[in-house]
Chain A
């Protein structure tokens, strides 16, 4: 957590920005842009998860549920209630934040492994509800025919349009999270991860901060879900399984816990690996697991992470 932006970092940042804006014009292949869009979506998700898991040290296996809450909110509002995209996006974020707040409440009493079980249960309940409540969520068929989103008169239709929309959301996510993590709030989250008792004696209201980290981290998952809904034009329960939650955790760990910039690398590495092994679908999970084990063995702090959890 270096304080203050140095010149070199500013230059690197400008370079990355120009590169990101130029990317779709350099690579015109819609297949590649599709993978990049997947990376962008998962980067938004994993940045939020990194706040919860990497900074505050709470293991949450229910992150896909918040992703789903955002996606279903946008899908239902846009198909049935005539909402346009921007208000649906905002409401998706707010609703995910609200559920994040609710799921954050038990952190006051339930600790460690038990809390992790609770998040798994939350994720599974969400998925089962979306499957079973056919009238509201369309059941296993999901919701189809989500209209084309429009932002300030700009109709978003092609892969490249969606890339820029995703990039804008990603920029918002990274910008707001890096302001947060560089403040006293970010330090308080890290203090809770390092030693919760000591943190409380440092004047940190630890129960409040744990709920806060959960609410904020979930907000971004809601935004990513909203993006997914308009991008795919359909939403089904199979987008939000435990498997997706696990994949996000692996991405955060491979990149590096407690580092926002590292998240991009983790997501990219895993996304490319998944694409690369797409011809071998039955070995995909095996390979994902192996990558994670190799990273944990040889670089426990993650590819770019600053600090490992073991000494």
Chain B
């Protein structure tokens, strides 16, 4: 069974149809890529999946549950985490606190516990900290944990944002242009990291403009055009597709 399934979802903003009639499924354990020209609705689609927008029509099911009407914070709790196209780490706080915030929904303390049972809530905090430090060590950011997020170099901030999403232990990770602004070396590191993540059981959905990156990492690719699903196939099929080239590069001039 598919991990996530969208059933003919629509989203309109005034007269503009940002997402129309998209039906797709993300299988458990795969890396699904999404490409499409600027303004084709990729980010809107990810916003629908993560609960920032609510679809006008259609249904979204995740792990067999209908999540169409759920607000963003509950969707995260169900196991979908995401990153943003234009980096959105919390700049003025430490790397460690960024990750602890990412883990928010997995820290099991109530307001009453903080006062009535401070030792228990302290213990929960310590457990959370251990888990995120493990995560930081894994990506070699362990020695930077006290640093303010804004003081990290750009590539590491990108990595931090992915880790912050991972801190909520998602089943499905949505990445919106993860290698925007990265150099080829950083991209290769990222690709290796994401493959590693998949080996550990996280399903990935990646929007990306960089063809070399997405073709090398994704097992299936969905092409969007003008808010609608245009093609779906393996990277090989998509690369050969003349129509896909046409929407990306425009019509050839007849001479």
Contact = CB atoms under 8 A, between A and B. Distances in A.
B135 interface: no
A97 interface: no
Contacts of A183: 109, 114, 121, 125
A194 to B, nearest CB: 4
B92 A308 contact: yes
Nearest to A179: B114
A203 B148 CA distance: 22
Contacts of B202: none
Interface in A76-133: none
A147 B96 CA distance: 51
Interface string A178-202: 0110111101101100110111111
A202 B101 contact: yes
B104 interface: yes
B213 interface: no
B94 to A, nearest CB: 8
Contacts of B115: 176, 179
Contact of B102 (A179, A182, A202, A307): A202
Contacts of A197: 52, 88
Interface stretch (B76-84, B182-190, B204-212, B236-244): B76-84
B19 to A, nearest CB: 18
A220 to B, nearest CB: 14
B72 interface: yes
B90 A206 contact: no
B73 interface: yes
Given A202-B105, A204-B104, A307-B148, A194 B93 contact: yes
Chain A, interface size: which category? Answer: 20 to 34
B52 A201 contact: yes
A11 B155 CA distance: 41
B84 A198 contact: yes
Given A179-B115, A198-B84, A307-B148, A203 B90 contact: no
A179 B111 CA distance: 10
Given A180-B114, A202-B73, 10 more contacts: A3-B129, A185-B111, A187-B100, A188-B104, A197-B52, A200-B52, A201-B51, A201-B82, A203-B76, A204-B73
Interface of B: 50-52, 71-74, 76-77, 81-82, 84, 88-94, 97, 100-102, 104-105, 107, 109, 111, 114-115, 118, 121, 125, 128-129, 148, 150, 164, 168
The 3 A-B pairs with the shortest beta carbon distances in the complex, nearest first, are A203-B105, A307-B92, A203-B76
Interface of A: 1, 3, 176, 179-180, 182-185, 187-188, 190-191, 194-195, 197-206, 212, 307-309, 311
27 contacts: A176-B115, A179-B114, A179-B115, A183-B109, A183-B121, A184-B100, A184-B109, A184-B128, A185-B111, A187-B101, A188-B101, A191-B90, A194-B93, A198-B84, A200-B52, A200-B72, A200-B73, A201-B52, A201-B81, A201-B82, A202-B73, A202-B76, A202-B164, A202-B168, A203-B73, A203-B77, A204-B104
